[in-house]
């Protein structure tokens, strides 16, 4: 296949969503199916607005195909395969987002958007049958890259090769360092998410205990204040959970995606190493043929002219193979350089947007928490100032008020100091 980049020009646009995950199959062979909705202005498709259904292994097939047939290209990776917990709502949603991001990057890639396997994946209503026919035809003509992506999709280390290009050697080192740093960052993010969830759970348990205490408190103003405090702590638990969810959607997804992208880069580097091996093998083969020709061409051997002519033809063909392998090696090296530059640019943009979204979410939720507490203290202080005056101006209350009563339910003269609705419904700090 040609490794040349497409001619400059406007690429077709794609708008892709992966949604509506639902479980199908029996208890033994169950799996999740996603609806993939595509809008595009590409004339390569039958229509510009269509929907197909795909399962995870279809996405994995696409990744393997693109990797195998586009050596040197950094193919956007799919999420990793999991045997346990794959039907849990949180995992399904996380995978859905990762698959959607993967498809969007594939269709935006100048070397991949026109790949026939990508078109087949996006458009076919009988993907499994068409893939079976396609692979059956290719069985007799598999190249060295066949199943390359499948066997190396989780690559974590480079094949040991003798690298003579300083640029590639420095990038190998850079990737190893970045891989280690991202994995450490991912572990720290996962710890923060767990801490947020634990803090939310502790806040909820504390709030429920306060609510229970309010139900047994005989002093009704105090009972109401405790009730509002307990509900406030339960509300804060929801905010901690929302922030933990946003941590996943922003930082965790981005870091995890780039850890997997480094795996794709390593596959591209290993493809280049294979091209280098082909070039070295072709050069060695040429050297052997030249040595054999020199040996057979000595006068003492009295080799027939027909044999000499045959050897010369073999040398010519070997030289052509050397030239072709050298050209392919130079092309894939140039392509990887361009792909690496693209990777660096996208990495900066993706992490910039991810961090901005993370900070905006954290500020929003912290403001909501601060707003809840400020409203609580304002209402509490206002009630404390109001209570002495009410006690002097109004007769003593009679009857009972439960912890869940409102101000309207209180007996004549009874004023509940803090109302839950005044605090928990406030949106003053939610912007």
Strand (E) or helix (H) holding 114: none
Per-residue pLDDT for 357 more than 60?
Answer: yes
| pLDDT given at position 360 | 92
Q: Which of 182, 144, 174 lies closest to 158, judged by CA?
A: 174
- Average pLDDT, integer, range 363-376: 90
| pLDDT given at position 258 | 95
Alpha-carbon torsion (285, 290, 294, 296), positive or negative = positive
Per-residue pLDDT for 286 more than 50?
Answer: yes
Query: pLDDT of 219-274, one tens digit each?
Result: 888 888 888 889 899 999 999 998 998 888 888 999 999 999 999 999 999 999 99
Per-residue pLDDT for 418 more than 80?
Answer: no
Cα distance between residue 394 and residue 375, in whole Å = 27
CA angle 270, 274, 279 (to 5 degrees): 145
Q: Which of 26, 98, 89 lies closest to 56, judged by CA?
A: 98
In this structure, the number of other CB atoms found within 10 A of the CB of residue 220 comes to 22
| pLDDT given at position 407 | 36
Please give the order of strands across the beta sheet that includes 14-24.
Answer: 14-24, 31-40, 49-55
| pLDDT given at position 393 | 55
Strand-pair partners of 22: 33
Query: Percent helix, strand, coil in the chain (nearest 5)?
Result: 65, 5, 25
| pLDDT given at position 391 | 53
Alpha-carbon torsion (277, 258, 102, 86), positive or negative = positive
Q: How far apart are the first and last CA of the chain?
A: 54
| pLDDT given at position 297 | 81
Query: pLDDT of 131-166, one tens digit each?
Result: 888 777 766 555 444 444 444 444 444 445 567 788
Q: Which of 278, 285, 294 lies closest to 317, judged by CA?
A: 285
Angle in degrees, 0-180, between the axes of helices 166-216 and 305-393, rounded to the nearest 10: 20
| pLDDT given at position 4 | 41
DSSP structural state of residue 24: E
| pLDDT given at position 384 | 61
Cα distance between residue 122 and residue 36, in whole Å = 8
Say what the alpha-carbon torsion angle 369, 373, 374, 379 is, to the nearest 10 degrees: 140
Query: pLDDT of 21-72, one tens digit each?
Result: 988 887 778 888 999 999 998 888 888 999 999 999 999 999 999 999 999 9
Q: Which of 142, 58, 75 lies closest to 112, judged by CA?
A: 75
| C-alpha 428, offset from chain centre | 34
Q: Which of 398, 407, 265, 254 lies closest to 335, judged by CA?
A: 265
């Amino acid at each position: 296949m040609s490794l040349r980049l497409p001619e400059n020009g406007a690429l077709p646009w794609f708008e892709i969503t992966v949604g509506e995950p639902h479980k199908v199959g029996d208890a033994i062979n169950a799996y999740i199916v996603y609806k993939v909705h595509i809008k595009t202005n590409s004339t390569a498709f039958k229509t510009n607005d269509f929907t197909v259904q795909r399962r995870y292994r279809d996405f994995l097939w696409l990744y393997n195909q693109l990797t195998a047939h586009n050596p040197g290209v950094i193919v956007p990776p799919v999420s990793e395969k999991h045997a346990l917990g794959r039907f849990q709502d949180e995992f399904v949603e996380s995978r859905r987002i990762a698959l959607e991001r993967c498809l969007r990057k594939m269709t935006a890639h100048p070397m991949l958007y026109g790949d026939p396997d990508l078109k087949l994946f996006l458009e076919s209503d009988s993907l499994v049958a068409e893939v079976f026919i396609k692979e059956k035809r290719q069985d007799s003509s598999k190249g060295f890259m066949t199943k390359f992506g499948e066997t190396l999709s989780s690559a974590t280390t480079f094949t040991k090769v003798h690298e003579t290009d300083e640029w590639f050697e420095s990038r190998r080192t850079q990737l190893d360092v970045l891989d280690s740093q991202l994995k450490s960052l991912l572990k720290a993010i996962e710890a923060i998410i767990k801490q947020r969830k634990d803090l939310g759970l502790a806040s909820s348990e504390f709030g429920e205990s306060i609510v229970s205490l309010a139900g047994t408190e005989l002093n009704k103003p105090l009972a109401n204040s405790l009730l509002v405090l307990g509900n406030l702590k339960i509300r804060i638990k929801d905010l901690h959970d929302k922030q933990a969810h946003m941590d996943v959607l922003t930082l965790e997804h981005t870091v995890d995606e780039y850890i997997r992208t480094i795996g794709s880069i390593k596959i591209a580097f290993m493809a280049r190493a294979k091209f280098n091996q082909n070039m070295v093998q072709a050069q060695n083969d040429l050297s052997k043929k030249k040595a054999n020709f020199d040996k057979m061409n000595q006068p003492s051997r009295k080799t027939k002219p027909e044999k000499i002519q045959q050897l010369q033809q073999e040398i010519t063909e070997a030289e052509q193979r050397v030239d072709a392998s050298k050209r392919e090696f130079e092309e894939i090296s140039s392509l990887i350089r361009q792909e690496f530059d693209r990777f660096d640019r996208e990495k900066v943009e993706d992490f910039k947007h991810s961090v901005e979204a993370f900070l905006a979410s954290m500020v929003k939720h912290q403001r909501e928490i601060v707003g809840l507490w400020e409203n609580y203290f304002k209402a509490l202080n206002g009630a404390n100032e109001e209570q002495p005056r009410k006690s002097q101006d109004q007769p003593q209350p009679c009857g009972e008020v439960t912890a869940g009563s409102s101000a309207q339910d209180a007996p004549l003269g009874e004023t509940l100091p803090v109302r839950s609705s005044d605090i928990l419904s406030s949106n003053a700090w939610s912007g």
